[in-house]
C-alpha cells in the first residue's frame, strides 16, 4: 500500500501497512491516509490468489488485532472512508474521480479487515475493534456509533451517489461491504434478530431508507449495467480506478468464476459458463440481487422494512 503499486509479496514488509497495524495511533486527519490509500494493487483474480492474499495479510491482521484496541486505527480508517465517500458529491469532476479511487481503496481495506475479524473473533469483538477509541475517554454507552455510521454511509452511497463509469466500482464495493457485515449470521448460533448489525439494518435510521434501497437494488438488477472496460480485465491505458479493481468480482466468488471448467447445463437450461459470463460482465446487478435477498430473508419474524418495501413495490413508470 502507498503510492507505488503493491504486490502480495510486499505486504508483510510494506511500511505503510506496518504503521497502520502498529502500536501508534493515527488520527483521521493525519496526512498518512493520503499516502496509505493511494495504492494500486490488483485484487485476487483466482481462488489461489485469494488464498495467497489471505496468507500475506494474516500476520498484519494479527498485529492489528493485538494493537487496535489501544490505537483505534481501524476506527480511523473507517472515519477516513466515510469522509472520502462524502467527497463523491463534490461538484468538480476531478475531485470525484480521485474521491472514487480513494473511497474504493478505503472500503476495500475496511472489507478485508471486517472479513478477518468476523471470521476470527466474531461480531461482539469485531464491534469492540470498530468502536475502540484512540485516546482515553469517559465511559460511553454500548451503542455502536461508528458501526452505525458506517452502515448508514454504505446505504447512502448505494442510494445517493450517482452511478457512472468511475463510481461503478464504489457502488459495488459498498454492496460488498454490507454483505460482509451481514455475513456475521454465518458465524453465529443465534437468530439474526439478536445481532447488533441486523438491528442497525432493521431498526435504525438505515431502515428509513429501505424503500429507496430496495428500489435502487431492483433498478441495478433490472438494468444489468455492464462493468466499465478494465474493471474485471486489465486493459492498457485504462483508468487507474478500474485497474486497481480488476478481478473484483472474482474476489467475492473466491476466484471460482475465473477457473477453467467444463460447461455444464443447470436444471433451468442455463449453462454454468453463461452464468459465469453474466456475473463477471454485470457484477453490480448480481451483487444487488444477492444483497436484496439477504436483507429481505432475515429477521422475518419481526418487522422487516426491506421485506415490506419489496412486497409493496409499485412500478410508477407503468
| SS3 readout for the chain | CCCCCCCHHHHHHCHHHHHHHCCCCCCCCCCHHHHHCCCCCCCCCCHHHHHHHHHHHHHHHHHHHHHHHHHCHHHHHHHHHHHHHHHHHCCCHHHHHHHHHHHHHHHHHHHHHHHHHHHHCHHHHHHHHHHCCCCCCCCCCCCCHHHHHHHHHHHHHHHHCCCCCCCHHHHHHHHHHHHHHHHHHHHCCCCHHHCHHHHHHHHCHHHHHHHHHHHHHHHHHHHCCCCCCCCCCCCCCCCHHHHCCCCHHHHHCCCHHHCCCCCCECCCCCEHHHHHHHHHHCHHHHHHHHHHHHHHCCCCCCCCHHHHHHHCCCCCCC
**pLDDT of 210 above 50:** yes
**pLDDT of 288 above 90:** yes
pLDDT for the residue numbered 228: 78
Give the lowest-confidence range in 62-76, 180-194, 213-227. 180-194
Q: What is the mean pLDDT of residues 272-293?
A: 76
Q: What is the mean pLDDT of residues 115-137?
A: 86
Confidence of residue 275 (pLDDT cuts 50, 70, 90): low
Residues 313 and 266: their CA atoms lie apart, in Å, by: 31
Residues 176 and 252: their CA atoms lie apart, in Å, by: 8
Confidence of residue 2 (pLDDT cuts 50, 70, 90): low
pLDDT for the residue numbered 252: 39
Across the chain, mean pLDDT equals 77
Angle in degrees, 0-180, between the axes of helices 210-223 and 283-296, rounded to the nearest 10: 140
Residues 48 and 56: their CA atoms lie apart, in Å, by: 12
pLDDT for the residue numbered 251: 40
pLDDT for the residue numbered 277: 60
Q: What is the mean pLDDT of residues 180-200?
A: 87
What percent of the chain shows pLDDT beyond 70? 69
CA 230 to chain centre: 19
> What is the model's pTM?
0.80
Q: What is the mean pLDDT of residues 159-163?
A: 89
Residues 76 and 70: their CA atoms lie apart, in Å, by: 12
pLDDT for the residue numbered 24: 93
Q: Any residues with CB less than 8 A from the CB of 283 and at least 6 apart, and which?
A: 172, 227, 231, 232, 248, 249, 252
**pLDDT of 280 above 70:** no
pLDDT digits (tens, 9 = 90+) for 31-55: 999 999 887 766 555 567 667 778 8
Q: Which residue has the higher pLDDT, 111 or 7?
A: 111
pLDDT for the residue numbered 273: 58
Confidence of residue 66 (pLDDT cuts 50, 70, 90): very high
pLDDT for the residue numbered 23: 92
Amino acid at each position: 500500500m502507498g503510492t507505488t503499486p503493491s504486490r502480495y509479496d510486499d505486504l508483510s514488509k510494506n511500511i505503510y501497512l506496518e504503521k497502520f497495524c502498529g502500536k501508534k495511533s493515527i488520527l483521521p486527519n493525519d496526512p498518512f491516509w493520503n499516502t496509505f490509500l493511494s495504492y494500486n494493487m490488483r485484487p485476487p483474480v483466482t481462488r489461489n490468489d485469494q488464498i495467497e492474499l489471505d496468507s500475506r495479510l494474516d500476520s498484519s491482521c494479527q498485529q492489528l488485532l493485538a494493537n487496535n484496541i489501544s490505537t483505534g486505527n481501524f476506527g480511523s480508517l473507517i472515519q477516513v472512508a466515510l469522509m472520502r465517500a462524502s467527497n463523491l458529491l463534490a461538484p468538480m469532476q476531478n475531485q470525484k474521480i480521485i474521491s472514487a479511487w480513494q473511497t474504493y481503496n478505503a472500503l476495500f481495506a475496511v472489507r478485508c479487515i471486517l472479513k478477518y475479524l468476523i471470521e476470527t473473533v466474531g461480531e461482539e469483538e469485531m464491534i469492540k475493534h470498530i468502536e475502540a477509541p484512540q485516546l482515553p475517554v469517559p465511559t460511553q454507552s454500548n451503542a455502536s456509533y461508528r458501526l452505525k455510521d458506517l452502515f448508514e454511509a454504505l446505504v447512502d452511497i448505494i442510494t445517493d451517489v450517482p452511478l457512472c463509469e468511475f463510481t461503478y466500482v464504489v457502488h459495488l464495493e459498498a454492496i460488498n461491504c454490507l454483505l460482509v457485515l451481514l455475513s456475521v449470521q454465518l458465524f453465529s448460533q443465534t437468530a439474526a434478530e439478536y445481532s447488533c448489525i441486523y438491528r442497525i439494518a432493521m431498526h435504525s435510521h438505515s431502515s428509513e431508507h429501505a424503500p429507496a434501497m430496495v428500489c435502487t437494488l431492483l433498478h441495478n438488477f433490472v438494468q444489468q449495467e455492464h462493468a466499465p472496460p478494465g474493471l474485471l480485465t486489465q486493459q492498457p491505458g485504462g483508468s487507474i480506478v478500474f485497474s486497481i479493481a480488476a478481478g473484483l468480482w472474482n474476489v467475492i466468488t473466491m476466484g471460482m468464476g475465473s477457473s477453467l471448467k467444463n460447461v455444464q447445463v443447470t436444471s433451468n437450461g442455463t449453462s454454468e459458463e453463461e452464468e459465469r459470463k453474466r456475473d463477471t460482465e454485470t457484477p453490480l446487478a448480481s451483487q444487488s440481487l444477492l444483497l436484496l435477498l439477504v436483507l429481505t430473508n432475515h429477521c422475518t419474524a419481526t418487522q422487516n422494512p426491506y421485506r415490506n418495501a419489496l412486497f409493496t413495490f409499485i412500478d410508477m413508470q407503468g
